[in-house]
C-alpha cells in the first residue's frame, strides 16, 4: 500500500502494516527540509506469510538467509525479522537509502533521531525502528531561545523581567512580513517555527515545531481559521496571524 508522503525506491515495497505511530514519525521525518527527495525507503514491512515463505525457501537452499518468523528474539518482544509482522499485527522497521547527493548518513541518522527513529542493528546505518523491545524512542525538539520565550508566555504568568514590548515588536514585524508573503504548505524558516509553537500552545496541534509548513501545520491552521470564523484557506495570512495572537477577539465576525 503506497503513501504519497513516504517515498520508496520500488512500488512493490509494502508499508501497509507499519504501526500507525511509526508512519506518523516517518511522515514528519520525510517532511524535514534537509531530507527532501534525497532519501527513500528501500525495504519496508513483510507479512508473517511473506517472511515464512522466505525462510522456507532458504531452508530448501534456494534463497538468501532469512529469519525464522517464529523465532522469539532474546529481548522478548520481537519475533523473527524486525521487518516482519509482529504478533500485534504491525511491523516496526524500514531500511533507508540515500538516493540523491547532498546529505550524509550521519545527517540522516541525526535528523531521524529527532523524530524518534533510530538505527537498531549494529553495522547497518540504514535499518531504522521507532522502538526497541521495551519502549518507543522519544521524539526530540530543537527550538530556538526565542521559541522557548514564546512558550513561556503561553504557559507561565508574566514576570517583571520579561521584555514584553520587545517581544510584541518581533511579533508585529513577523506579521508585516506575513502580510507581504503569507505562509503556506512548503514554506520554511523561523517564522514558520514561531507559528507552529504558538499553534501548539493554543492546542491546535501541528507536531514538532521544525520550521517546515507540512500537512500537520496546514491542518492546524485550518482548525484555527474554523474556530475564529475566518476563511478556511490553510494559508497563514496576516489576518490569521493576528487572530492567532489575539484569539479572544472574534476577528471573523
| Domains of the chain, each with CATH number or no CATH | 20-129 (3.30.1380.10), 145-245 (1.10.101.10)
Find all residues with CB under 8 Å of 146, minimum gap 6, and list them.
Answer: 170, 190, 194
pLDDT, tens digit (0-9, with 9 covering 90-100), for 77-98: 899 999 999 999 999 999 999 9
pLDDT, tens digit (0-9, with 9 covering 90-100), for 193-238: 999 988 988 888 888 889 999 999 999 999 988 888 889 999 999 9
Q: For residues 207 and 204, what is the distance between their CA atoms, to the nearest angstrom?
A: 9
The rounded mean pLDDT for the chain is 85
Q: For residues 67 and 151, what is the distance between their CA atoms, to the nearest angstrom?
A: 48
- Residue 98: what are its φ and ψ, rounded to 5°? -80, 120
| Residue 162 pLDDT | 58
- The reported pTM is 0.56
Per-residue DSSP letter, 7: -
Confidence of residue 163 (pLDDT cuts 50, 70, 90): low
Q: For residues 141 and 197, what is the distance between their CA atoms, to the nearest angstrom?
A: 11
Least Cα distance to 91 among 17, 151, 30, 142 occurs for 17
| Residue 251 pLDDT | 45
Q: What percentage of the chain carries pLDDT values higher than 70? A: 87
Amino acid at each position: 500500500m503506497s503513501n504519497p508522503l513516504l517515498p520508496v525506491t520500488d512500488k512493490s515495497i509494502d508499508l501497509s502494516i507499519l504501526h500507525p505511530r511509526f508512519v506518523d514519525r516517518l511522515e514528519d521525518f520525510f517532511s524535514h527540509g534537509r531530507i527532501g527527495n534525497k532519501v527513500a525507503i528501500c525495504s519496508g514491512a513483510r507479512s508473517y506469510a511473506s517472511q515464512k515463505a522466505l525462510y522456507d525457501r532458504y531452508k530448501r537452499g534456494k534463497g538468501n538467509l532469512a529469519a525464522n518468523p517464529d523465532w522469539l528474539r532474546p529481548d522478548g518482544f520481537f519475533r523473527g525479522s524486525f521487518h516482519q509482522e509482529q504478533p500485534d499485527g504491525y511491523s516496526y522497521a524500514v531500511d533507508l537509502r540515500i538516493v540523491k547527493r547532498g546529505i550524509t548518513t550521519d545527517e540522516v541518522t541525526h535528523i531521524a533521531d529527532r523524530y524518534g527513529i533510530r538505527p537498531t542493528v549494529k553495522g547497518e546505518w540504514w535499518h531504522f525502528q521507532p522502538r526497541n523491545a521495551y519502549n518507543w524512542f522519544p521524539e526530540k525538539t530543537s527550538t530556538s531561545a526565542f521559541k522557548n520565550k514564546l512558550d513561556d508566555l503561553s504557559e507561565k504568568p508574566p514576570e517583571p523581567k520579561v521584555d514584553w514590548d520587545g517581544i510584541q515588536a518581533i511579533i508585529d514585524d513577523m506579521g508585516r512580513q506575513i502580510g507581504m508573503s503569507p505562509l503556506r504548505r512548503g514554506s520554511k524558516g523561523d517564522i514558520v517555527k514561531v507559528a507552529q509553537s504558538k499553534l501548539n500552545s493554543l492546542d491546535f496541534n501541528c507536531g514538532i515545531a521544525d520550521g517546515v509548513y507540512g500537512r500537520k501545520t496546514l491542518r492546524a491552521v485550518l482548525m484555527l481559521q474554523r474556530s475564529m470564523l475566518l476563511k478556511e484557506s490553510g494559508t497563514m495570512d496576516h489576518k490569521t496571524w493576528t487572530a492567532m495572537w489575539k484569539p479572544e477577539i472574534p476577528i471573523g465576525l
